[in-house]
Amino acid sequence: MTQEPARKSPRISLFVLAMMNTAVVVGLEGLPEVGSFGLPLIVYYAFFTLLFFLPVGLVAAELGVGWPHDGGVYRWIREALGERWAFLGIWCQWVQILVWYPTVLAVCAVSLSYAIAPGLHDVGWFKVVVALVIFWGATLVNFRGLKISGWLTTALLYLGTLLPVVLAIGLAAWWLGSGRPSAIPLRWSDVVPRIDSIGEVVGVCAIFSFLSGLEVNSVHFKHVRNPQRSIPLSLLFSGMLVLGISVLGALSVAVLVPVGEIDLAAGALQVFSTVLDPMGFGWMVTVLAVLALAGMIGHIMVWVIGPTESLRVAAEDGLIPPVFQKTTSEGAPRNVMLLQAIVVTALCVSMMFFDLNRIFYFLTISSAQVYLVMYVLMFISVIVLRIKKPFVPRAFVIPGGMPGLLVVAGGGALTALVGIVIMFWPPSTEDMAMEGASFTPVLMITFVVIMVLPLVFYVFRNPAWKDRPGLPSAESRRGGWKRGD
């Protein structure tokens, strides 16, 4: 069979890449939780952007252009540390997103309730039904592959996330400009954090969750014009944009909604309701709720296929049963996505039996810890690969040679490790306090179980599972690359 010549991929501009980076990180679900920190969140976000967000982007850039094949983070860690640690890394990425889904799906349900009947946002069955319809719908759309879901995801993110956040910021500015009172003090002296306990530090560490995910876009780095210049500039620009939108969006919630009244699943919509209902523009809240719902669906669709594709590549390596190698005709990892949907269904049903505000915070902390394990492995991998495979072509490298790499990747790894350890303490912030007698043991057990399971699965891997006969070969799906490449 004659092979058709590969079509040249379109080049991505600096601006487009920066906007893609911003869209994959910024979401409405984190604004209420972060807004409860008040003005000090400006300092918190600046800190986490410098020590975590930008290092993640720079490391993902170097690894993404050096090893741009299927598997993403799984392949990077496998090349550096071997299959065992690669499986642990992608397992952590997948599990943290499983834990995150119920929280963002709860935001979807609340957004829909604001659009049709606000009283429904506290009804358990309503949340579950909406969550399941949205998640299974996103899964089925992604069955058609990125060609179909990509443009839809992008449109939903911009229309349903960036537009409502910008409007919320504008409403808060108008509220203050018209002389109305703020729900939080707005003195310059209040910008400086006053942390009196480690529990408050733990609460702040939730920001890790809201600045994660930048490595998802690494697959696009190989298509960037002038990568050595464009990638770091786009990361700097998107970092500033994420910082601005997240800080101002969270402050808009804090200014208009008292901390004690913030609903972690509805904070952004509470802003619109607080300002627009008394002015007779309540109908706009319905419109904005629909937009917010669209944005959350887009945010979910970004993640539904990413980690599952890496798990499929792990299946090709024989680490999990070959049934998970199967794909749809468009190349989506069908069976892994079905397994994911079943697990998410069980988690969503559990929402009917828990206080959502409390479980929202616990899930945020738990998912952040698990995700940070993957980031530690990723930071270590970029250092190891610079030493072991210095001659692999990289269109972008972290500036400064080995000292620059150690500062960026070493500093990111240290920040992530400190975050993992600190988050075992119970959080103690104004909007959420948990007793250590229950919080810490439950979190530690959860963390240990999540870390041990993939290592157990690895012990029972079967070499005969690799690229089973009757399934399309990994090599053919990857366009002919081989593991030695």
Angle of helix 124-142 relative to helix 334-349, nearest 10 degrees, comes to 170
What does the pLDDT read at residue 482?
37
Nearest to 364 by CA among 242, 264, 259: 264
Residue type at 284 in one-letter notation? M
**First-last CA distance in the chain:** 24
Structure tokens at 382: 């970029």
Distance from chain centroid for Cα 304:
11
Query: Does the predicted TM-score (pTM) go above 0.75?
Result: yes
Apex 317 CA angle, 315 and 323, nearest 5: 25
In a domain, 470, yes or no: no
Structure tokens at 171: 């409403």
In a domain, 478, yes or no: no
Three-state SS for 74-136 is HHHHHHHHCHHHHHHHHHHHHHHHHHHHHHHHHHHHHHHHHHHCHHHHHCHHHHHHHHHHHHH
Under DSSP, the state recorded for 387 is H
**pLDDT by position in tens, the chain (length 485):** 444 444 444 566 777 677 777 767 777 667 777 777 888 888 888 888 889 988 998 898 889 888 877 677 888 999 999 999 999 999 998 888 888 888 788 878 888 887 888 777 677 788 889 999 999 998 888 787 655 555 666 677 777 777 888 888 888 888 888 888 888 888 888 888 877 667 667 777 778 877 887 777 665 666 677 776 777 777 777 777 777 888 888 888 888 877 667 665 565 677 777 778 777 777 788 888 888 888 778 778 777 877 787 888 888 888 888 888 887 777 778 888 899 999 999 888 877 776 655 666 677 788 889 999 999 999 999 999 999 999 998 888 898 999 999 999 999 999 999 999 988 887 765 444 455 567 788 889 989 999 999 999 898 888 888 765 444 444 444 443 333 33
In a domain, 38, yes or no: yes
User: Which residues span the domain enclosing 447?
Assistant: 14-465
In a domain, 477, yes or no: no
Extended strands (E) in 231-341? none
What does the pLDDT read at residue 151?
63
3-state secondary structure of 305: helix
Give the residues across from 12 on adjacent strands: 224
Helices (H), 257-281: 267-276
In a domain, 434, yes or no: yes
Extended strands (E) in 190-323? none
Residue type at 314 in one-letter notation? A
| Sign of the four-CA dihedral 84, 89, 90, 95 | positive
CA distances (Å), 453 to each of 95, 310, 347, 442, 447, in order? Answer: 11, 17, 18, 17, 10
3-state secondary structure of 12: strand
Query: Which residue is listed with tokens 């060609």?
Result: 147
For the chain, the maximum distance between any two Cα atoms, rounded to a whole number of angstroms, is: 73
Are 65 and 227 within 8 A, CB to CB?
A: yes
Write the burial class of residue 156 (CB in 10 Å: 0-12 exposed, 13-18 middle, 19+ buried). buried
φ, ψ dihedrals at 37, nearest 5°: -75, -20
CA distances (Å), 470 to each of 1, 165, 304, in order? Answer: 20, 49, 26
* Rounded distance between C-alpha atoms, residue 175 and residue 297, angstroms: 29
In a domain, 220, yes or no: yes
Apex 208 CA angle, 315 and 350, nearest 5: 65
CA distances (Å), 135 to each of 70, 180, 301, in order? Answer: 24, 40, 9
CA distances (Å), 313 to each of 59, 66, 88, 423, in order? Answer: 21, 18, 14, 31
* Rounded distance between C-alpha atoms, residue 77 and residue 89, angstroms: 7
Structure tokens at 139: 């899964």
What does the pLDDT read at residue 338?
92
Give the residues across from 85 on adjacent strands: none
Are 199 and 433 within 8 A, CB to CB?
A: yes
Say which residues have a Cβ less than 8 Å from residue 428's Cβ, sequence separation at least 6: 197, 199, 200, 202, 203, 434
In a domain, 479, yes or no: no
What does the pLDDT read at residue 303?
76
Nearest to 206 by CA among 419, 436, 459: 419
Give the residues across from 224 on adjacent strands: 12
For residue range 412-438, list pLDDT tens digits in order.
Answer: 999 999 999 988 887 765 444 455 567
What does the pLDDT read at residue 78?
93
Under DSSP, the state recorded for 213 is -
Q: What is the CATH number of the domain that holds 426?
A: 1.20.1740.10
The count of domains in the chain is 1
What does the pLDDT read at residue 477?
43
